[in-house]
Each structure stands twice: as C-alpha cells, then as structure tokens.
Amino acid sequence: MNYTINSRKRAPLWVFAFQLIQEKIRKPHIRKAVADIISKFLPTSENKTIQGEKLYSKLKEVGYCEMPNIITTEEADELRDSLTNMICFDPWKPYLGKFNIEDAPKEVHTAQIENVLAIPRLLEIANNPIALEVCERYFGCKPIIDSIQAWWSLPGHEKAEQAENLHRDNDGIRFLKYFIYLTEVTEESGPHVFVEGSHLEPKGLDIRRYEDTEVEALFGKNKFRKFTGKKGLSFIEDTYGFHKGQPAKTEKRLLLQIRYALMPTIFLNKNYINNFEKKQEFDIYSNKFLVK
Ligand SMILES: O=C(O)CCC(=O)C(=O)O
Ligand SMILES: [Fe+2]
C-alpha cells in the first residue's frame, strides 16, 4: 500500500488548556494521583501477561524497562534504509528548512525525519501488544499513541544543545516514551542517558535544562544509566525522570521514538493518511485506522 501523510492537525484546544494546568503540578506523586483519577474514566483492556507484569515492575521502580526483542537487527537495517531516503528537518532550527540527511547543514545536531508514518510498519511496532500492556499497567487505562518520530543525531559538535542536556519532559500529566535504536549505539554515537529513580523524586523540578553536575548532586552519579547497545535495542521510559541524548561524537545515531500517553498531548500527531482513493484517519483512542 502506498500511504502518504496528507496533513497534520493540532491537538484540540482543551489539550492546550490542560497543558497549562499540568505543567504547574510538579511533584511526581501528585501528578500520579491526578493521572490515577483521570484513568478511572478511560477504557481498559484484558491484556495481562507475566512478562508485562515484570517489565512494568521494573519501569515503575527505576523509571525504565528494557524491552524484549521487538525488532531484529535485519529489520532495524531495513527501517534505517527506508528512513535514510526521507526528507529531514531540524526541529530546533526550523529556519534551516528541509534537507536530505547526507546534505544536512553543519549546525544540525538533530535531523528529524518528516512523514515517518509513510512506513506502516512503524505503526505496527507502536501497536505491539507488550508495549501497549506495559503502558496500560503504568497508566491504569489503555494508552494512546500520541506520536511516532524518528531522528538522526549527528556528530561533530562540541557543545550540547536542547535535549542533549539533562531535562525532564513535560509532555503531559502521564506519558511514556518508547525508544528504539535503529543503529548500533556506542560511546561514539550519543547514547541515551536516564537518571534512575528521578521519575519519583521531587527534586530538580524546574522546567529547564540542567548541568550534569547539578543532577549528580541531587541524585548521585551512580544513578546515571547509559544505554549503549546493538541496533534494535529498545526501552520504555518515564521521561518525566531526568534524561538526555548525549551529543554524538563521531558516528550518527538513528532513533525511533513512540510517545504513549494517558490523554493526547500538545504534540499530538493527528495523522490524516491518504490512501489514494480512500481517506483513512488514524484514531488515537482505538489505535486503529478508521476507514471512511
Ligand atoms: O535523544 C535522546 O536520546 C533523548 C531525546 C529526548 O530528550 C526525548 O526524546 O525526550
Ligand atoms: Fe526529553
């Protein structure tokens, strides 16, 4: 099938209004209490496995869980090949316009790929039952797939910028990010870092980027977990906890990121997909395409 993304629409107005409120709720246990109340009004499923329970326990306790092999190295290569040919942009420097990855301007650290949903396999990955189960356990209701993104982290920059510095994400009242490496990630290619337990601790709650030394003083250096590994390595993380993608040194890194959320976030990717004659709309509540 030949999908092309037709347009992206903004999240509904109430999502923006709720964002202003949730951003002010800083303490993790209060955020969870509010999310627990909301989740009582949202649908649940019957999906329950022992594997899901184990992954969820780890996620709850330390803030992330490594996922079992969802995609093979061969599949990671195939996805990388498809994504390599797609148009990129720098989300932090929109004035640079659009470019192919091999012609990326020198100042680009993050080359995000446009229209990743032209690859239907990415939606299947986002819908894999074990990830959905882990999210459901964490939220207390079925997750929505809020967005699917992929980007290259490009080497050759001295100074960290934006999400290359430690920060807490503020995407919604309760959300998780599923990170999947599509290239091998070593010390050279900007491994992702997470500070264990920081998703639960009411410390360092200002919305800003932090220096490593500040976060080390708050949580201890021994809590820093660095994710290096082969292509296909994937983990689900509560990125309200401190994290960053270290700047790539000499090799580029290709990362796939799926955001699951309790409710739509302001970053909601509302995907209208045109399949030539038929207009198919992606329904965030059922995680399915609706055929009109
Ligand atoms: O590039 C990374 O590893 C982390 C990016 C990040 O901060 C995020 O996706 O929220
Ligand atoms: Fe982040």
Domain map (residue ranges) of the chain: 4-282
Q: 241: exposed, middle or buried (C-beta count within 10 Å: 0-12, 13-18, 19+)?
A: buried
Q: What is the mean pLDDT of residues 95-121?
A: 92
Residue 224 has pLDDT above 70, yes or no: yes
Q: What is the mean pLDDT of residues 210-215?
A: 96
Q: What is the mean pLDDT of residues 9-21?
A: 87
pLDDT band at 2; cut points 50, 70, 90 = very low
Q: What is the mean pLDDT of residues 54-71?
A: 97
- Which amino acid residue places its CA nearest to atom 9 of ligand 1? 257
Ligand 1 pocket member 163 (CB < 6 A): yes
Mean of the per-residue pLDDT values for the chain?
Answer: 89
Ligand 1 pocket member 257 (CB < 6 A): yes
Q: Tens digit of pLDDT for each residue in 151-179?
A: 999 998 888 889 999 999 999 999 999 99
- Which amino acid residue places its CA nearest to atom 3 of ligand 1? 245
pLDDT band at 284; cut points 50, 70, 90 = low
Q: Which of 199, 255, 256, 267 is the pocket-test mutation for ligand 1 (most atoms within 8 Å of CB)?
A: 255
285 vs 26 pLDDT, higher one: 26
Work out which ligand 1 atom sits closest to the CA atom of 153.
Answer: 1
Q: Which of 161, 175, 179, 209 is the pocket-test mutation for ligand 1 (most atoms within 8 Å of CB)?
A: 179
180 vs 278 pLDDT, higher one: 180
Residue 9 has pLDDT above 70, yes or no: no
Ligand 1 pocket member 192 (CB < 6 A): yes
- Which amino acid residue places its CA nearest to atom 2 of ligand 1? 245
Ligand 1 pocket member 189 (CB < 6 A): no
In the reported structure, the alpha carbon of residue 276 is separated from the centroid of ligand 1 by a whole-number distance in angstroms of 34
pLDDT band at 291; cut points 50, 70, 90 = low
Work out whether the CA dihedral 210, 211, 212, 215 comes out positive or negative: negative
In whole angstroms, what is the distance from residue 130 CA to residue 67 CA?
9
270 vs 85 pLDDT, higher one: 85
Q: Tens digit of pLDDT for each residue in 254-264?
A: 999 999 999 98
Ligand 1 pocket member 245 (CB < 6 A): yes
In whole angstroms, what is the distance from residue 195 CA to residue 244 CA?
9
Work out which ligand 1 atom sits closest to the CA atom of 243.
Answer: 7
The strand pairing partners of 180, in sequence order, are 234, 256
What is residue 286's predicted lDDT score, i.e. its pLDDT?
56
Residue 36 has pLDDT above 60, yes or no: yes
What is residue 45's predicted lDDT score, i.e. its pLDDT?
87
pLDDT band at 272; cut points 50, 70, 90 = very low
Q: Pick from 36, 74, 12: which is nearest to 173 by CA? A: 36
CATH of 4-282, picked from 3.40.50.11540, 3.40.50.300, 3.40.30.10, 2.60.120.620, is 2.60.120.620
* Tokens describing residue 119: 């690859």
Ligand 1 pocket member 112 (CB < 6 A): no
Residue 7 has pLDDT above 50, yes or no: no
